[in-house]
Amino acid sequence: MMVEFPWDDLRRLTGLADYNTRVVLLGSLLLGLVSGAVGSFMVLRKRAMISDVVSHAALPGIVAAFMVLTVLGGDGKSWLALLTGALISGLLGMAAVHAITTHARVKQDAALGVVLSVFFGAGVVLLGFTQRMKSGSSAGLESFIYGKTASMLASDAWLLAGSALAATVICLAFFKEFRLVCFDAEFARAQGWPVRRVDALLTGLVVVVTVIGLQAVGLILMIALLITPAVTARFWTDRLGSMVIIASGLGALACVTGAALSALYPRVPAGSVIVLSCSTLFLIGLLFGRRRGLVPEAWRRIRLAARTERHHVLRAVYEQWEQRGVQGFHAHAGTGSVLVSAGDLAAVRRWSEARLQRVLREAAADGDVELDAWPLVRLTSRGMSHARQLVRNHRLWEWYLIQHAEVDPHHVDRDADEIEHVLGAAMVRELEATLPGRLSGAELPSSPHPLTDTEEAGWRKGPA
């Protein structure tokens, strides 16, 4: 049986015709924004599981607040009272984690697991007692476990707005401190920064965001909203500021998507859809993220491998010319350029003919070689300059390995074979400083493994 798509509901949703829809979407948007921002710092601080502990530790506080208010004759389902209980319980949970890790020989991950299970178990037990209370109904408290975004009221949205604004102001005001502690806490401590206070402030933000998000997502799934957008943002950028912005945007997008789908299909819980939306965005980032995505990373590896092969060909041409002399090659009339045999290149690199032809075509596309005299390969002036620099970098690394790593000269070529492709100007200058004597940019080191024993060691000019 096919389910008919609710086109009328979609038009009302996109037009924000219903008051409740506007409230839910606004509240979800704000929750996603603040969750992504705060979660970014927690991920970089390697405290991702703290939000899970806080959310589970909030349950006994919620139930206890309901029981106390009910016994005192008040409104046991007061949203502000329940959140206050959740906040107090969450802070107690974090205090318990801190006490265990500080005064006992227990690592943080174990302490987090202990506190999480104990507090959540206590909450479930208290929840069972509330069902037997005659003075008040506990119906609806279970929504804090799984979340119930559709029941969000205007007061809830205003609370989210105030909390999001406060968290944003704190993140901006303490951005420098958060960044320093997240990336190098030991350096910050050595410089006299109050690392514990900064950590406490960051943990407080997590507690607040977790508590205000319990109704929308639920305590079980709240960790996904705090952590998944931040982790996803890491696939797209290496800058903290950009990461916070991207994570906030992804969190807002996931929350709005979940709330919208829940409005279109009332039987679909919004909290679960929000988490699934986060997971979908995470999968997209994992595959296609510009910085750490699997597909771009695979493409970069493929391009690096192809460039490395082209460099190997250029270096092989230059070294044959240097070893045998220009007379051993076919000189192109009128230009003085050098032509080498493709068969000689294949023998040097031990490549198949098909592989060599593919690499040479790529080198020709770069303008380093010309293939109009095949099977002779002509090295262009651009290719000659490029090949000379590759040979120079290769030998600098070879000499370094021989002198400082005590690598045998007969085996050093393979160790240095991949390095000349990634050496930067700064590294080249450092390598030059480790060698005896001075080496100008026009000079090449002699080969550390010469063809004959009579070849003089030291520096000499390369072929012009």
Q: Where are the beta strands (DSSP E) in 164-240?
A: none
Q: Where are the beta strands (DSSP E) in 38-197?
A: none
Q: Is the peptide bond before 229 cis (omega within 30 degrees of 0)?
A: no
Residue 155 has pLDDT above 80, yes or no: no
DSSP characters for 228-287?
HHHHHHHTT-S-HHHHHHHHHHHHHHHHHHHHHHHHHSTTS-HHHHHHHHHHHHHHHHHH
Residue 140 has pLDDT above 70, yes or no: no
pLDDT at residue 338 in the model: 64
Higher-confidence residue of 264 and 20: namely 264
pLDDT digits (tens, 9 = 90+) for 184-203: 888 888 888 888 888 888 88
Band (pLDDT 50/70/90 cuts) for residue 243 is very high
Higher-confidence residue of 449 and 322: namely 322
* % residues pLDDT > 90 (the chain): 11
Which range is least confidently modeled, 356-365, 397-406, 434-443?
434-443
pLDDT digits (tens, 9 = 90+) for 267-303: 777 778 888 899 999 999 999 999 889 999 999 999 8
Band (pLDDT 50/70/90 cuts) for residue 452 is very low
Structure tokens at 342: 């493709």
- In total, the chain counts a number of residues equal to 464
pLDDT at residue 298 in the model: 93
Residue 330 has pLDDT above 80, yes or no: no
pLDDT digits (tens, 9 = 90+) for 303-316: 888 888 888 888 88
pLDDT at residue 1 in the model: 45
Residue 462 has pLDDT above 50, yes or no: no
Residue 131 has pLDDT above 50, yes or no: yes
Residue 375 neighbours by CB distance under 10 Å? 16
Give the residue ranges of DSSP H helices in 352-458. 353-365, 381-404, 412-416, 425-434
Burial class (CB in 10 A: 0-12, 13-18, 19+), 81: middle
Place of tokens 């916070």: 244
| Mean pLDDT taken over the chain | 78
pLDDT digits (tens, 9 = 90+) for 18-72: 666 777 788 888 888 999 999 999 899 888 788 888 888 888 888 888 888 887 7
Nearest-angstrom CA–CA distance, 37 and 205? 10
Query: Which neighbouring-strand residues pair with 338?
Result: 331
Closest CA to 388 of 451, 319, 456: 319
Structure tokens at 10: 């979609």
* Averaged pLDDT for residues 351-376: 86
Residue 402 has pLDDT above 50, yes or no: yes
Output the CA–CA distances (angstroms, integers) from residue 225 to 26, 57, 400, in the order listed: 16, 17, 50
Contact status, residue 53 vs residue 228, Cβ threshold 8 Å = no
The strand pair at 330-331 and 338-341 is best described as antiparallel
Helix axes 19-44, 270-288, angle to 10 degrees: 50
Band (pLDDT 50/70/90 cuts) for residue 245 is very high
* Averaged pLDDT for residues 326-354: 63
Residue 167 has pLDDT above 80, yes or no: yes
Higher-confidence residue of 267 and 456: namely 267
Band (pLDDT 50/70/90 cuts) for residue 4 is low
pLDDT digits (tens, 9 = 90+) for 412-434: 666 566 666 667 777 777 777 77
Provide Rg for the chain, Cα atoms: 33
Higher-confidence residue of 19 and 211: namely 211
Band (pLDDT 50/70/90 cuts) for residue 253 is very high
